[in-house]
């Protein structure tokens, strides 16, 4: 495709939801200013929607809408495809078809890129087109571009990040305002930060897809999302935030990937962070990703991670990047380097500090029984708190933090502890990150 002479490029948009609406509105409203900025006139040619009768913004002409994807994917007039449909299918098939048709593709689809990214990038290279996906992770944070370009000379040892704005908003409300999980979730939905079905956000699935993408880039391999350990935030209670604060920690839902020789540890779960840690200070819908490399040291990327505007910003950034490359000598056909022989390690092999909260009988000798089991598994106690004694039920909460221990040993201990007559419930198990 050679558009150097025409100075006009036509864009086909797949999807007109929150992000798609933002992209379409910007391209239509700011067409003249974009042309001045890029030196190219961007024409929004067609928009794929599911329902033509659905009410749309007045700024989007009805004539642009279609329910037939072939009017976009197979049109010789369309140069670039922007996919903001979400979901695995049919989005993956549409992206593949667009690439095979010689069209550049910009996508915000984290699920597709996590599951099929390496294959699609290879396909794009074969067809000499660009496939850009900055909007798939971190909203407005330019983490994809930095891992792919600016930090590529580094041997990355670890990535840690808050990569789901919805979960971070909920945890912030639970921490700062003592809101119960359900109330915080309702508020997130009212603010437009959470979907009507928030499962992928609150159960960590969304973060798993994002961690798969950025860890694959960082470690030059495909980290399959199915291999990433995942826990959501639904089990957290306000007591956990209160006790964590007393112990000097904040609770954040983290995506963590680290290189351990020929193994990668990759996991998504809530964790305790020291209050002074940079990630502990990231609140609301903001995201942050900490990258540790041999040359750059520790680098932190921070910005809004949820909502229409940040994602629209990332999508348009990729779109404009494609256009600039088309009108320059810069190559845009490079596929990421892949290193073989790197596998994802089981969570059982993780060594971590832990936070435990247990509901127990309020009687002497309880802590001794628990400590004995932990000691037999080579797990030593760091701090112990007894909280919230119920004089009527004769129960109490015990909060324990441990020194570093193997996950498999900790899980064995908890099973044995839960079988004790004096232990009514193991309420919380959280890992501690330093």
- Residues classed as catalytic: 210
Q: For residue 41, how far is the Cα from the chain centroid?
A: 33
Q: Which long-range contacts (CB under 8 A, 24 or more apart) does 72-75 make?
A: 72/12, 72/13, 72/14, 72/45, 72/46, 72/48, 73/12, 73/97, 73/98, 73/101, 73/103, 74/101, 75/12, 75/45, 75/46
Q: Where are the alpha helices (DSSP H) in 236-297?
A: 238-247
Show the tokens assigned to 138.
């971190």
- By CB neighbour count within 10 A (0-12 exposed, 13-18 middle, 19+ buried), where does 269 fall? buried
Residue for token digits 């639904």?
234
Distances 1 to 9, 103, 189 between C-alpha atoms, Å: 11, 8, 43
Distances 233 to 168, 302, 428 between C-alpha atoms, Å: 10, 22, 11
Q: Where are the alpha helices (DSSP H) in 192-257?
A: 199-202, 205-219, 238-247
The answer to whether 250 and 275 have CB atoms below 8 angstroms apart is yes
Alpha-carbon gap, residue 366 to 422, rounded angstroms:
7
Alpha-carbon gap, residue 414 to 358, rounded angstroms:
10
- DSSP bridge partners of 430: 355
């Amino acid at each position: 495709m050679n558009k150097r002479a025409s100075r006009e490029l036509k864009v086909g948009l797949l999807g007109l939801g929150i992000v798609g609406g933002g992209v379409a509105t910007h391209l239509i409203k700011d067409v003249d200013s974009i042309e001045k900025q890029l030196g190219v006139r961007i024409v929004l040619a067609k928009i794929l929607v599911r329902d033509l009768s659905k009410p749309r913004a007045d700024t989007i002409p009805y004539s642009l809408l279609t329910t037939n994807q072939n009017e976009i994917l197979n049109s010789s007039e369309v140069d670039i495809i922007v996919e903001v449909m979400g979901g695995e299918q049919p989005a993956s098939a549409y992206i593949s078809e667009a690439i095979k048709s010689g069209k550049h593709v910009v996508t915000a689809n984290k699920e597709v890129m996590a599951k099929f990214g390496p294959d699609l990038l290879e396909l794009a290279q074969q067809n000499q087109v660009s496939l850009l996906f900055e909007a798939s992770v971190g909203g407005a944070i330019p983490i994809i571009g930095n891992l792919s370009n600016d930090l590529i000379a580094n041997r990355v040892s670890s990535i840690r990040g808050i990569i789901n704005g919805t979960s971070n908003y909920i945890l912030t409300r639970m921490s700062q305002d003592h809101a119960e999980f359900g109330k915080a979730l309702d508020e997130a939905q009212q603010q437009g930060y959470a979907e009507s079905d928030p499962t992928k956000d609150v159960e960590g699935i969304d973060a798993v897809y994002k961690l798969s993408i950025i860890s694959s880039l960082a470690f030059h391999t495909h980290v399959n999302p199915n291999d990433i350990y995942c826990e959501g935030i639904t089990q957290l209670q306000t007591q956990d935030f209160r006790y964590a604060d007393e112990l000097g920690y904040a609770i954040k839902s983290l995506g963590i990937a680290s290189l351990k020789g020929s193994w990668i540890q990759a996991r998504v779960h809530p964790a305790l962070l020291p209050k002074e840690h940079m990630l502990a200070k990231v609140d609301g819908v903001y995201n942050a990703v900490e990258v540790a490399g041999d040359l750059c040291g520790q680098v932190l990327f921070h910005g809004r991670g949820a909502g229409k505007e940040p994602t629209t910003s990332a999508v348009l950034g990729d779109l404009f990047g494609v256009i600039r490359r088309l009108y320059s000598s810069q190559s845009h056909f490079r596929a990421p380097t892949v290193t073989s022989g790197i596998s994802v390690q089981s969570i059982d092999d993780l060594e971590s500090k832990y936070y435990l909260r247990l509901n127990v009988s309020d009687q002497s000798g309880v802590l001794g029984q628990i400590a004995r089991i932990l000691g037999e598994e080579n797990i030593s106690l760091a701090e112990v708190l007894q909280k919230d004694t119920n004089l009527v039920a004769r129960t109490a909460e015990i909060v324990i933090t441990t020194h570093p221990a193997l996950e498999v040993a900790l899980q064995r201990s908890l099973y044995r502890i839960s079988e004790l007559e004096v232990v009514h419930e193991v309420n919380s198990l959280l890992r501690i990150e330093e």
